[in-house]
Structure 1
Amino acid sequence: MEIGVFFYVLTGFALINIIYYFFYSKAGFGKTPQPQGDLKNAVSVIVCSKNEQENLKTLVPQLLEQDHPNFELILINDASYDDTRDVIEDFMSQDARVKMVDVVNNESFWGNKKYALTLGIKKAVNDHLIFIDADCTPNSKQWLSLMAVHLSEEKKIVLGYGGYQKVKNSLLNALIRFETGLTAIQYFSYAMSGNPYMGVGRNLAYTATQFYDVSGFMSHMKIMGGDDDLFVNQAATNKNTIVSLNPDSFTISIAKQSWSTWWKQKKRHINTASHYKGAHKFLLGLFYISQIGFVISAILGFVFGINWMIILGVVLFRYLIFWIVMGKGLSRFRESDIIILLPFLELLLILSQLALFVSNMVNKPKQWN
C-alpha cells in the first residue's frame, strides 16, 4: 500500500470527526434557551422506584423542599420486594402532596418499567410532568421550577442533564462521567439544532397531552428500556422540544461502582439505541465509525507511514478541536476535572462500545433493574 493512502484515510476520518465536533459545540458554546412557560402551572413529579427504599429516604425530602408553588409527588412502587411501599406510605402520612401508585406485575408487562410509568402518568392530575429517578438528587431547590418553567403552549418536552457524583482516583467513575457528558453534548446539540433524538429519565419533562398524543410507550412497550430515549425519539420535534442548561436544573446520581454492574447497564442502553429513527442511527453510527476509523488509521499511519510529522500534525489538530469542544461542553455540565484525561477516556470508551456491541449481539439483557 502506498504511503500516501494512510494520510488520506486518516485525514478523511479526522475531517468527519472535526465536522461533528463543530456541530457538537452548540452544547458548550450555544446560548441558553429562554423559558417560555408560567411557574403558576401545577406540575406532577413522577418517580419510578423498584427496591429503592434507601434512595427514597434521601430523595423525597429534597423533592418536597423544592420551591415550586404547586406540585404533587407521585411515587411508583414497581413491585418492590424490599420496604419501598412502607417508606412511601410513611411519606404519604406526613405530606398530602405525596401519592402512591402500587404496581403489581402484569403477566403481559412483567418487569416492564414503562408499564409502571404509564400507571404513574395516569395517576397524575396535572398535565405538566417532571421525571427523576429514585437514585438521583436535584442540584438545587430550584430544580423543579427551572425544569417546569420551560413547559409552555409550544414546548411540550424538556431535556435536562443528569450527571453523576465524582469519585476520586476512580477510572470507572471518570469513564462514566465522560460518556455521560459526551452523550449530553450530543443530544443537547441535536436538540438545539432542531433535531432532538433522545433524553434521559434522570431529568426529563413532558406534558401528559404529548404522551397521549403518541400513544405513550405502546410502539416500544415490549422493548426493555427506552422509557426516556425511545419516547423522546418518537415524540420530539424541532418545535415542541427545548433544553434546560442552567446548572441548578441538573440532577446528580451515584454512578455504578463496579465494572460488571456498569457493563450490564450499558448493554441495556445500547440495545435501545438500535430502535432509534433511521436518520439518527445513521448520524450517530457515522460519528462512531469516524472515531474508531481515526484511531486505527492514526496507529497504522505511525507504524507504516514515512512522513510521520505530517501524520502527527493531523492527529494533533483533530485532538485540539476535540479538546476545545469537549472541554467547553464538559465544563458547562460541571465535569471539567476530567478534561485532562480526554484522549485516554475517548479511546477507552470507543473500545468499550465496540465490545458492548459485540456482547449484545450474543446475549441481550432481560430486565430493567
Structure 2
Amino acid sequence: MSVAVLRPCQLPYFCCVFMDSFNIFLYIYAAVVFIQLLHHLFFYSRLAWGRTAKPSGQELPGVSVIVCARNEDTNLKQHLPLLLRQDYPAFEVIVVDDNSDDGTVEYLYYLAEKEPLLKRVKVGNVNKPMAGKKFPLTLGIKAAQYPVVLLTDADCAPASDQWIRTMMQGYQAHTEVVLGYAPFHKLAGWLNKTIRFETFFAGMNYLSYAKAGMPYMGVGRNLSYKTGMFFRYGGFADHRELPSGDDDLFINKIARRKNTRVVTDSNSFMYSAPKETWTDWKYQKQRHLSTARYYRPLHKFFLSLQPVTQILVYLLLPLAVWKDPAFWYVPAGLFLFRWIINRILYTSVMRKLDEKDLVPFIEVFDLLQVFYYFRFFKAAVVKTRYRWN
C-alpha cells in the first residue's frame, strides 16, 4: 500500500498562511504589550479609579512632625511657620539641627522663644553611627512625645493648613504607616516638566502598589508611621551604612498590606522646589535609585516589569514590522492600543495628583523614559556612595 506524501502546497490553507507569515517578533511583541498592560491595569487602575479612603472617624492621634536640617536657615524661615500654623489639636514640630553653621541655630533659638510647639534637637559633633540623615532622624524620633511621627524636609511647604489633619485621617485601627504624595512646584522649562513627570511616575508606582497590598517605599518629604513601630523594627540598623534609604528601605522593611494606607487628598500634598540644573537632578535621581537593589525580591521583580517591557515595546516594534511589512498594521495597532490604555490611566492619576498640565506630554515622556532607563541603569545596579547635604 502506497502512502501519499503531502507537499507544502497540499497542506491545509490556514497552515500554509501561518508558516508563510510566521513572525516571531510579532508574537513576542504581543506578549510584551499584554504583560505591560496587565501590570498597569492591575496596579495603576487602583489609584486611577479606586475610591478615596474616607476618614476613619477615630480620634486623631497626637503627632510629632520631624524636620532634619543642615544649613537650612533660608528654608526654615520660609517653611517652618507654615508647619507651626497647622490646624490640628495635638502636635509638635521637632527640628533636628545637624551641625549647621549658616544661622540655623540662631533662628531656631529665636523662634523657640515664641513658639511653644517647636522643639530643638542638636546632633552635636560626634561620630555618627549611621550614614546620611538617619542618625539625626533617629534622634528626632527619640525626642518625639507623641505616638505618631510625620516626616518632611526643610525645603518643603504643605499644600494647606490641613496637611497634618489630612495625613492623620489615613490612620485606622490597624494602620501603622501612611504614605503621602510630595510633588514639586510647577515652573517654566523642560527640566521642570521632566522632574515633575518622574516624580509623578514614582508616586503613581508606590501609591498604586500600596493600594494593591504591596507597599514597597515612601518618600521622606511626606511620610508617617508610628513611633513604636520604628523601635520595634530596630530603626535603620539594617542599612545604617547607606547614606540613603531612611524612607524607602525602612518602609520596604516594615510596610505590609494590612498596616499601610495611602492619602491622595490634595490638602495632604507637600511641595518642594525642584532642582535647577540637569546635573543636580541627575545626581538626585541616581541617589534615589541607588537603594532599589536592596528591595525585597518580589518588589524588584514586579518593579522591573515596567522598564523591561517599556524598552521592548520600542525595540521590538520596528523588528516586527521589518519581519513582515505586509502586516505592519498588527504591531502598529498593538502599539496604538497600548498608548490609548496608558493615556487613559495616566490622565486619571494625573488629575488625582494635581499634575493635569503634564497630560499633553504623556506620549513624549513615554518614549523619553526608554532613554532614561539606559542612562540611570548603572545607579540602580552598581553600588555607589552618595552624600546627604
Tell me by how many angstroms 1:362 deviates: 6.3
**Partner in structure 2 of residue 195 of structure 1:** 214
Residues of 1 paired with 2:59 and 2:125: CA distance?
Answer: 36
Paired residues of 2:33 and 2:313 also in contact (CA < 8 A):
yes
Paired residues of 1:157 and 1:206 also in contact (CA < 8 A):
yes
What SS does structure 1 have at the residue aligned with 2:89? coil
Note the alpha carbon deviations across 1:272-329, whole angstroms, 9 max, x for none.
1111111001110122111111111123334554022222111100010110111111
Paired residues of 2:23 and 2:323 also in contact (CA < 8 A):
no
How many aligned residue pairs are there?
A: 368
Tell me by how many angstroms 1:133 deviates: 1.2
Paired residues of 1:264 and 1:365 also in contact (CA < 8 A):
no
What SS does structure 1 have at the residue aligned with 2:290? helix
Does residue 182 in structure 1 map to residue 188 in structure 2?
A: no
Paired residues of 2:47 and 2:204 also in contact (CA < 8 A):
yes
Tell me by how many angstroms 1:150 deviates: 2.1
Task: Tell me the TM-score normalized by structure 2.
Answer: 0.90
Counterparts of 1:7-156 in structure 2, within 5 Å, are: 7-23=26-42, 24-36=44-56, 38-109=58-129, 112-156=132-176
Change (3 A) 1:122 1:328: same
Tell me by how many angstroms 1:230 deviates: 0.8
Q: Which residue among 313, 316, 336 is the counterpart of 1:294? A: 313
**Partner in structure 1 of residue 10 of structure 2:** none
Does residue 157 in structure 1 map to residue 197 in structure 2?
A: no
Residues of 2 paired with 1:81 and 1:21: CA distance?
Answer: 47
**Partner in structure 1 of residue 373 of structure 2:** 353
Change (3 A) 1:172 1:303: farther
Residues of 2 paired with 1:239 and 1:47: CA distance?
Answer: 28
- Gap runs ≥5 in structure 1: none
Paired residues of 1:151 and 1:158 also in contact (CA < 8 A):
yes
What SS does structure 2 have at the residue aligned with 1:94? coil
Paired residues of 2:289 and 2:379 also in contact (CA < 8 A):
no
**Partner in structure 2 of residue 261 of structure 1:** 280
Report the AA paired with residue 220 of structure 1. H
Greater RCO, 1 or 2 (C-alpha within 8 Å, sep 6+): 1
Tell me the percent identity. 37
Residues of 2 paired with 1:104 and 1:315: CA distance?
Answer: 57
Tell me by how many angstroms 1:96 deviates: 1.1
Report the AA paired with residue 221 of structure 1. R
**Partner in structure 2 of residue 275 of structure 1:** 294
**Partner in structure 2 of residue 228 of structure 1:** 247
Does residue 285 in structure 1 map to residue 304 in structure 2?
A: yes
Note the alpha carbon deviations across 1:119-148, whole angstroms, 9 max, x for none.
000011111111111111111111111112
Change (3 A) 1:22 1:258: same
Paired residues of 1:37 and 1:148 also in contact (CA < 8 A):
no
What SS does structure 1 have at the residue aligned with 2:338? helix
Q: Which residue among 287, 306, 316 is the counterpart of 2:336? A: 316
Task: Tell me the TM-score normalized by structure 1.
Answer: 0.95
Report the AA paired with residue 162 of structure 2. Q
Does residue 364 in structure 1 map to residue 384 in structure 2?
A: yes
**Partner in structure 2 of residue 244 of structure 1:** 263
Tell me by how many angstroms 1:43 deviates: 1.1
What SS does structure 2 have at the residue aligned with 1:164? coil
**Partner in structure 2 of residue 217 of structure 1:** 236
Paired residues of 2:181 and 2:203 also in contact (CA < 8 A):
yes
What SS does structure 1 have at the residue aligned with 2:96? strand
> Which range moved further: 87-96 or 359-368?
359-368
Residues of 1 paired with 2:186 and 2:212: CA distance?
Answer: 30
Tell me by how many angstroms 1:154 deviates: 0.9
What SS does structure 1 have at the residue aligned with 2:183? strand
> Which range moved further: 266-275 or 87-96?
87-96
What SS does structure 2 have at the residue aligned with 1:206? strand
Question: If you compute each CA radius of gyration, which structure gives the higher value, 1 or 2?
Answer: 2
RMSD: 1.9
Tell me by how many angstroms 1:86 deviates: 1.7
